[in-house]
């Protein structure tokens, strides 16, 4: 991997940490301050975090401009990542793994695959 790709990967990782923090802050606020149910709070938080992640990754990680095409692709890759997260978590549970192992597997599997998908498809 050349230097430019490493920079994109590091920026993508930072954007993911930022989006995760945004999701957590929004979900906790909606649950504790607005009395919203956790599923609804997390759905709203996921939407906002994905939007923030799209903007940060578009402008900063991949040095692109917002466009309907890459926004749709970003949303599809994000939903695919969500589905893969659920699948890895469920498979870990069925195999008798602990929640911590499931989370570790998700962290090891989903971000690298979504980076490649964004690099090769979303922002091509």
Structure tokens at 21: 């923090």
Q: Residue 62 in contact with residue 123, Cβ under 8 Å?
A: yes
Give buried/exposed letters for 26-38 (b at 16+ CB in 10 A, else e). Answer: bbeebbeeeebee
What pTM, to 2 d.p., does this model score? 0.91
∠13-38-23 over CA atoms, to 5°? 20
The DSSP code sequence of 17-68 is HHHHHHHHHHHHHHHHTS---HHHHHHHHHHHHHHHHHHHIIIIIS-----H
Give the integer Cα–Cα distance in Å for 21 and 29. 12
pLDDT in tens, 25-84: 999 999 999 999 999 999 999 999 999 999 999 999 999 999 999 999 999 999 999 999
State residue 34's pLDDT score.
Answer: 97
Residue 118 has pLDDT above 90, yes or no: yes
Q: Which domain holds residue 16?
A: 3-122
What DSSP designation does 76 have? H
pLDDT in tens, 11-27: 999 999 999 999 999 99
Number of domains within the chain: 1
State residue 1's pLDDT score.
Answer: 85
């Amino acid at each position: 991997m050349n230097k430019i790709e490493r920079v994109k990967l590091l920026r993508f990782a930072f954007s993911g940490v930022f989006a995760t923090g945004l999701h957590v802050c929004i979900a906790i606020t909606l649950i504790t301050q607005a009395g919203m149910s956790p599923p609804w709070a997390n759905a709203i938080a996921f939407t906002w975090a994905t939007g923030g992640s799209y903007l940060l990754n578009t402008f900063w990680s991949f040095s692109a401009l917002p466009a309907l095409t890459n926004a749709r692709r970003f949303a599809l890759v994000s939903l695919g990542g969500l589905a893969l997260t659920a699948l890895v978590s469920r498979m870990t549970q069925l195999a008798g793994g602990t929640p911590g192992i499931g989370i570790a597997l998700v962290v090891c599997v989903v971000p690298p695959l979504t980076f490649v998908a964004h690099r090769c498809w979303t922002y091509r």
